[in-house]
Amino acid sequence: MSRLEPDDETTGWTAERYAAGHMSEQEERDFEVAMLESPALADQVNAAQGLRAGLRELQTRGALSSLMGRTRFPVWHAALAAAAVLLVIGAGVLFFGRHPQLPGPRVMASSVAQLSDAARVVTASFIVAHTRSQTGPISLTLTRHPGAIDLKILPQAADTGGDYQVTLASTDPITSIVPVELHVRPDPAGFIHAYLDPTVLAAGDYRITVIQGPHTEQFPIRVSFPQSLPTRP
Amino acid sequence: MGLPLDHKPRPITWPASTRSLPHREVERGSFLPPLQALKLMTETLMDPAELASRIHNGDKRAEAELFSRYKNGVRQIIWRITGNDSRAEELTQETLIVVLRRLRAGSLDDPTRLPAYLAQTARNLAIAENRKERRRQTDTDSEALEDIPDSAVSHDRALHLNSAANIVRHLLNEFRPERDRHVLIRHYLHDEDKESICREWGINESTFHVILFRARKRFLELLTKRGINRTDLFSFVLVL
């Protein structure tokens, strides 16, 4: 291993892997020599370990959740924020007067960052694929807990290199959502990821349509929210 | 922080008060150079061959540099094998003393490979210690030994844990945007893989690395600001 500079992006990641114990024995030996050649690299390893230890301790104390999403602003920001809220309310009143219908929070997106604040963490994943034994729609049993659902869609046709167009539409007159369309690329394993927000999704029948070039596949799904499941673990 | 190939280290100017300070070497245990009087600047680090040569010529400052420069890394290597902090501390001193004696005698075949030799010596001593420990445990009542609490270690550990938690709390409070805090938690606490974190947060690999780099850098800055010695922090983070 050539001399590693601790400020280098790749080196920093190598220090992270070593700190987490994600290296083979030979990689560890090579890194340890590099760490002795560049003592500041040991600092990077210690920092990674310290961050992990500190976060674990905060989690143990139950202090972590209150830190997420909490930000401190100078006092004058409050006045500015209040003025901004008034402005938005005023604009909304004008806009609603002309456009009575607006789309609600996103029910599906290509990344969790595009969903509501309540769905920024993936809490469950489902594989959506055609199987020989499958008859009827793919069943998704969800809960109303905040958190995104990662749908890992596996198309049967081989990837031709372009974006996949993924559409979610309701096939149930009761659910009636505005169809959502994404343009995504698959992950290295071949799965297309679409993230659902279960807090804005109604139970019922849907269809996911995946199109790439001339190939179209459809996946009927049935979403349910059993009443017997606890609302909080 | 790398040195250019043609770098010639500036002579280190030690404060006058350090020149006559004695240092002593004990058979097993701590080698005590006047570390409190030393301020080692990274840009004046000698290359290993020069360090070895100076030690062979009796340069005590070079001997002190051997300890201050390599102690952290050697201890990291030993701890990963032994998993025991106090043993790691002891074996670190032993490793450095063994290597120091070889350097004084000039019997190191290739001084440019000093770091590799240090790493191998550390590993050998740690593995030997593990074997000895296993033999000791078969000869004694290991359950009885485990029941004896080490109150000194517990107290230090609690203090250090508190420090780390406070530093991380401070860091999270000032980390922007909120996305970056989530990335840190997913990586360090949930041990999730980089690819899924990047995908879920819509960031590329480079941004991910920058977030972690900022966090590590800030962590070390806050550590120094609180007057916590980095080597003290090392003592407890690894046991968690």
| Nearest one of A150, A140, A145 to A184, comparing CA atoms | A150
Q: Test A46 with B233 for CB contact under 8 angstroms.
A: yes
| Nearest one of A206, A148, A138 to A172, comparing CA atoms | A206
Which residues contact residue A29 at a Cβ distance below 8 angstroms, ignoring those fewer than 6 apart? B119, B123
- Point out the residue among B115, B195, B237 whose CB comes nearest to the CB of A36: B115
Overall average pLDDT of the A10-25 stretch? 88
> By three-state DSSP, how is residue A145 classified?
coil
Q: pLDDT value at position B94?
A: 96
Residue A124 neighbours by CB distance under 10 Å: 16
- Point out the residue among B73, B188, B200 whose CB comes nearest to the CB of A112: B200
pLDDT band at B2 (very low <50, low <70, confident <90, very high): very low
The full DSSP string for B82-128 is H--HHHHHHHHHHHHHHHHHHHHHT--S-GGGHHHHHHHHHHHHHHH
Overall average pLDDT of the B211-238 stretch? 77
Q: CA B65, CA B67: separation in Å to the nearest integer?
A: 5
Q: Please state, for a pLDDT cut of 90, what percent of chain A lies above it.
A: 13
**Over the Cα atoms of chain A, what is R_g?**
24
- What's chain A's average pLDDT? 78
Q: pLDDT value at position B22?
A: 40
Decide: B54 and B84 in contact? Cβ < 8 Å. Answer: no
pLDDT in tens, A79-114: 666 676 677 666 666 665 555 444 456 788 888 888
Answer yes or no: is pLDDT of A54 > 80.
Answer: yes
Best probe of the A interface among B92, B189, B218, by most A CBs < 10 A, is B189
Overall average pLDDT of the B9-24 stretch? 39
> By three-state DSSP, how is residue B237 classified?
helix
Strand pairing category for A164-170 and A180-184: antiparallel
pTM, to two decimals = 0.54
Instruction: Give A52 to chain B, closest Cα distance, Å.
Output: 5
Q: pLDDT value at position A136?
A: 80
- What's chain B's average pLDDT? 76
pLDDT band at B5 (very low <50, low <70, confident <90, very high): very low
Strand pairing category for A180-184 and A215-224: unpaired
Residue B156 neighbours by CB distance under 10 Å: 15
Q: Which residues in chain B touch residue A35, judged by CB atoms under 8 angstroms apart?
A: 73, 76-77
For the ranges A120-134, B61-75, B134-148, which has the lowest average pLDDT?
A: B134-148
Overall average pLDDT of the A39-55 stretch? 89
Q: pLDDT value at position B231?
A: 58
Distances, alpha carbon A59 to alpha carbons A51, A54, A96, B175, B222, in Å: 12, 9, 43, 18, 20
Q: Which residues in chain B touch residue A9, judged by CB atoms under 8 angstroms apart?
A: 206, 209-210, 213
ipTM comes to 0.71
pLDDT in tens, B92-151: 999 999 999 999 999 888 999 999 999 999 999 999 998 888 887 666 555 555 545 455
Is residue A33 classed exposed, middle or buried when 0-12, 13-18 and 19+ CB atoms within 10 A define those classes?
A: buried
- Point out the residue among A12, A53, A187 whose CB comes nearest to the CB of B199: A187
Token pair listed for A105: 């929070």
pLDDT band at A67 (very low <50, low <70, confident <90, very high): confident
pLDDT band at B219 (very low <50, low <70, confident <90, very high): very high
Q: CA B118, CA B101: separation in Å to the nearest integer?
A: 12
Is residue A152 classed exposed, middle or buried when 0-12, 13-18 and 19+ CB atoms within 10 A define those classes?
A: middle
Q: Is pLDDT larger for residue B52 or for residue A4?
A: B52
- Point out the residue among B201, B219, B238 whose CB comes nearest to the CB of A51: B219
Q: pLDDT value at position B154?
A: 57
197-236 in chain B: CB under 8 A from chain A = 199-202, 206, 209-210, 212-213, 215-217, 219-220, 223, 230, 233-234, 236
